[in-house]
Structures are given as C-alpha cells and as structure tokens.
A = this chain, B = another copy of it.
C-alpha cells in the first residue's frame, strides 16, 4: 500500500490537523475538572504530538500550557478547535475562529437544535452562516468529536493507541464511547471514529462517503438515530456497501425511541419500516446494539472465508448442546447430521456414547483428556459437509469440578480444537458471572481472544453475527453478478 499512491478523500484533513486548540479552559489551579481542561488532559495523555493550545479565562496554566484569552492570541496556525463553552458564546467564537483561519470546529456543547425553545435552533443557524462565510467545517454540535489513533486525537481517557481498520460514525456520544469500549474489549481497533451529534454541518452522509473512499478503513460501522437526507443516505449507503461491509445500528426505531431521539440529537427518526426497507435495499447489515455491531465485525475480521451455513456445533453438556443447537438454528445456521462413518469413528475414540452426543451437535466431555479430544476433532474435521465450526464452552455446570479447573479445561480444549480446524471457526465462552466475581469468565474470554480467534459471549450472538456476515457476502456476490 505504501508503494502506491493513495488518493485520500475530501474530508481527510479533518482527521489530521496541524495543530489543535481547546477553547473553554481555566487554570488547573481553579478547576481541573472544567470540561475544556479535561479535553487538554485527554489529548496529552493520549500522546497528541502536534502543537496544542489552551484558550480560556484566568491567569495560569492547563496541563502545563499557557492559557490564551482569545483564539486570536494564539501565535501559530490553528487548524482544529475543540469548543467547550456555553452555547450562547459559540457564534462569537466562530467569528473569531474564522478570522484566525481555523479549518474545523468540534462543538462539544449542547443546547442547539435538539432543545425545545427556539433559541437553540436559531443559534445553530447563526453558527452555520458564520462558519460558511469562513469555510469552517463544523462537527456537532452536541457530540464528542474525533478519535483517530494515527493522528493522536481522542476524547476518552482509556482509548487504545492501536490503529485498526474499522471506521465508526455515531450520532450519540455515549453510544460512541460504549462502542469504542466494546470493540477494544473484543480485540477490534479503529481507523477513525467520529461522534457527530446534531450533524448541523458534517453529517452521516458526508462521513459514510469519506469512509467508503478511505483506504485505512475496511469496515464501516454506524450508530444513526435519524437523518434529514433520506435519498442521499440511500445512495451513499449503497455505494459504501458495494465496496466494503457497512454495519448500521439504527436506533430510535420505535415510537418511544423516536420521541427520545428528537430531543437527543434533533434527529427525525423516521418510521421503522422505512428504515428496514432502506437498509435492505442498500446491502447494509442492520444490528440492534453496539454489542451486536462488533459481533459482526468480529466475524468479518477473525472468521473470514465463510462459504455456507452448514455448521458443526461442538461443546460439552447435554442441555447446553441442545440449547446451542436451538440458538444456531433459530439464527439461520444449518446443522447437517454427521454421516454414520464419522459417528463410528467417534465411537472408536470414546468406546461409548454414554455421556456424549455424536450427531451434530457433538457433546464431547473435555475431562476425558486432551488426547482423546484432539483425536475426536481430527476424526470429523475434514468432513466436506461442513462450512464452519462453532465451538462452545459452558463452565460452571459441573457439580463437582472446581470452578477454576472447569474454566481452564474448557478454554484449553476449545483453543486446541480451534487450532486444529481447517474450516472457519468461532468460539463461544458463555460467561456466567457468579457473585464474588473472580474474573475467571473474563480471563477465559481474553485467552481465546489473544489466541487470535473470533470469540463471543453466547451462542445466540455468535450465530446471529455469522448469519448477518454471511448474508452480506451473499448480497455482495449477487451484486457483482447483477452488474
């Protein structure tokens, strides 16, 4: 990639400012929890390398930086401004930023189009007029802004410095942060994230277009409450999905949710049916929570090459295997019956099927030793009736085996099987946390993750994500045939 000339899409510059100023700071000695001060702290902690300026009131320093009383007083170039001042002060600040030559303003503050008195909407329109006059692009208002590991921009204290291949646009700041945390927990990293709030200027369509053309982004994820640009959204989603997977968590899909959304981000949510139709037409993958969103990313990134839905379901515990089978079939996966010769091969390994199930699902007792477990897996691994393997573990169901030993044996066995698999494979670590949490479920989960596999906290979520990813592949393959 570095050898070739990469064409960067139009919005690229907003992710790579030459310098950043935070407006709305006070001396740390006065109040280090002031929101402007917090943004300075986050950027410094994250390791922002380019010039960083503090603008605000009072004599003193923020994180060791001098406070300028006015954006115009900053000596150097300012490309990017994080705005943490009350809504009524923003119009004047935009004017000052225009004179200073600022290129992008992130308006953190709320109290604009989303509130009920008309003043908020008037303020928002005034800001847009002034910004337009000076060619300033606006992110927000009422949002968290940009997280871009490569350029050192971030808006949370515990965000990962690792850059990845997922782009994320989110209308809600809270859902944006929850999504980032869920992703990092799952071993998923981001190219760029934008929390875009009221979308007064830069909106979901602009960002989708950007991510479609961004060579650093291989998968696009989006939390959207509503849009004012229906026809354009239909087009940009279609263009995006034709090029790379797009996963959309459309929230505010009910009457109650819609009531909330208009007050949250001024979004016109639209009817659920309209959205369902729209998303189906475009090939975007629809999900219903940020957890489900990164479930699908997990399949796309860590379990590629799924050619069909014929699944071998393998785990331990009769009831757990029955339930795993139900959950797989309900999600749309298929479970062909194991051919008689393979069932006989398993009988040879274990001598009896008492306490095991040799059909599909397979119920194989991991306490009978890793050698037998390995032998059993190898006996069925080459079956050409299979497209993929789902391995599931449910510790805590054995009455006599100590809890830590259950987690250890189950996790060891699943990882060993996954390593032996020549088919796409996912692992499920059913994490039933008990009171007096010892972190064991989480540790098992992380161990499987660090071994490099696609890991899920329930069969239902794994199977649902597999079905969604596979449906996208199918849609895309149909698309190229149609073209």
Contact = CB atoms under 8 A, between A and B. Distances in A.
Interface in A245-265: 251-257, 259-261, 263-265
Contacts of A319: 170-176, 178, 223, 225, 251, 264
Contacts of A35: 400
Interface stretch (A7-15, A130-138, A325-333): A325-333
Interface string A154-168: 011110000000000
A29 to B, nearest CB: 18
A420 to B, nearest CB: 22
Nearest to A33: B400
Given A254-B329, A313-B256, A178 B318 contact: no
Specify which of A182, A317, A326 lies most central, judged by the most chain B CB atoms within 10 Å of its CB.
A326
A155 B399 CA distance: 7
A427 interface: no
Interface in A122-157: 144, 155-157
Nearest to A144: B399
A271 interface: no
Given A35-B400, A260-B318, A437 B435 contact: no
Contact of A434 (B181, B326, B337): B181
A322 interface: yes
A177 interface: yes
Contacts of A398: 174, 177
Interface string A443-480: 00010000000000000000000000000000000000
A121 interface: no
A256 B361 contact: yes
A432 B111 contact: no
Given A174-B320, A399-B144, A354 B435 contact: no
A321 interface: yes
A268 to B, nearest CB: 13
Given A257-B325, A257-B329, A318 B174 contact: yes
A380 interface: no
Interface string A370-410: 00000000000000000000000010111110000000000
Given A174-B320, A256-B329, A263 B42 contact: no
Contact of A396 (B177, B313, B363): B177
Contacts of A251: 319, 322-323, 326
A244 interface: no
Nearest to A317: B174
A355 interface: yes
Which 6 pairs of residues, A with B, have the shortest CB-CB distance? A172-B319, A111-B354, A254-B329, A264-B318, A256-B325, A175-B319
17 contacts: A42-B400, A155-B399, A174-B319, A174-B398, A175-B397, A177-B398, A178-B320, A251-B326, A252-B326, A254-B329, A256-B329, A257-B322, A259-B337, A264-B357, A265-B318, A435-B442, A435-B446
Interface of A: 33, 35, 38, 42, 87, 110-111, 114-116, 120, 144, 155-158, 170-178, 181-182, 184-185, 223, 225, 251-257, 259-261, 263-265, 288-289, 313, 317-323, 325-326, 328-330, 335, 337, 352-355, 357-361, 363, 394, 396-400, 432-435, 437, 439, 442, 446
Given A115-B354, A256-B325, A259-B361, 15 more contacts: A110-B355, A172-B319, A173-B399, A174-B398, A182-B432, A253-B330, A254-B328, A256-B326, A259-B337, A259-B359, A259-B360, A260-B363, A288-B326, A433-B433, A435-B446
